[in-house]
Structure 1
Amino acid sequence: MLIDSHCHLDFPELSADLDGVLDRAHKAGVAGMVTISTLVEKFSTYSELAEQHENIWCSVGTHPHNADKELHVTTADLVRLSAHPRCVAIGEAGLDYFYDNAPREAQATGLRRHIAAARITGLPLVIHSRQADSDMAAILEEESGQGAFPFLLHCFTAGMDLARRALALGGYISFSGIITFKNAEEIRDVARMVPADRYLVETDAPYLAPVPRRGQPNEPSFVRHTAEKVAEVRGISLEQLGRETTANFGRLFSKTGLV
């Protein structure tokens, strides 16, 4: 059994054929998935998707690309919306210095508000971090000093230093289809290093389709290809990976009831 811990079912590439997407996921052994928020103003879209399907959960948060568009969203807003029974996480929030689609100050402000919401609710914070390793590590360490909070570095593309510092704070790391790419040896090194109780797999669909599906819109069923590569890298069977990642998902996303 596999869980796609991060996808975007509201995006048109998936929503146009949602029944087909879910059927293919089921046939591939994907038992559940989390559709991730990129805009708090669209929370009703995510929550309705989760309400309609027992194997779909959702999150609430503002993607760093949209940080300056939702500076009016407070920690209290995030906490209030996260009380929805199908909402199992805060985010995704974080820092993206590759695109810099929002001012970095706005990204950091949003991230800290989401951290506060995760600390208050106990729900995991889904973190987007791209080419911002130093600042991300510093914020996580500073904020953890003010009180622990659960978090997941999703679609991990960073270096070993951030991985080790995040793990030292109790964080989890999720691997996407990028791990199947030819030039992703550093990420595979991280996948070898992460403890068995701290890693997950995801698609980030509709983006980042894994080999051998590159060039196609990604979807939850393709998480199997990512899982196969992570299992190969770690020297374990796909079945063992399924057991480990599902247990890790249930522990981190405890509101799903899969513990």
Structure 2
Amino acid sequence: MNLPQSGRRVLVSGASRGLGRAVARAFAANGDRVAVHYGSRAEEARATLDSLEGTGHALVGGDVSDPAAAARLVDEAAEALGGLDVLVNNAAVNLPHPPASTPYEEWVELWQRHVSVNLLGTAYLSQRAARRMIDTGVPGRIVNIGSRGAFKGEPDHPAYGATKAAVHALGQSLAVALGPHGIGVASVAPGFFATERVAPRLAGPEGGAILAQSPFGRVGTAAEVAAAVRWLASPEAQWASGTVLDLNGASYLRT
């Protein structure tokens, strides 16, 4: 069975707003059916759902850090869409916790939260979705949203950077493990990109320095990242399985 060009069944985790919303829209515009996942922002997720082109989309909720809830939301998405061809792991938390000034109890709590959502949630969803794909003979795709911070470092958000590095490594392990089943797995590593969440930072005193990180003198857009995600999930991108694709406007170059 070949992965179709359009009309695929796609689950996007963390699709209430921001990048997740842009990714859901990109797939819907391609003629795919999308399950919009939310953790707690049901109203915003509904707005995402209502904004999608086409029909046959679905809304699924659940805490990805809870193993039972993660399994259930994958199953609900597959049942609502009639199967599952693509999983996009976008759900994540990114809360500040500078090591020199964060109280120890808060430090521990935030590390546990980042690991449980960013890493374990991705692992739970990926395994459940992969089993669905294998059992139904679907040569699917899994695309993880990583981060430039996994390489560059995140001094005020170290758990975020560390868990995104782990997500990259997880994706590469899954690419090797799932390749024999025709399932491609890849990750994107975006730099700073504009969303409603970071708009105050761009408009504030540090905005100029953020723009200057890239030689293009701007930050990325959620639509640009979403376009890369859609390509990595496409039939043409099977040979990109295992890759970690930098999307940072030359603001950070790995060697």
TM-score scaled by structure 2?
0.38
Larger-Rg structure: 2
Q: TM-score, normalised by structure 1?
A: 0.38
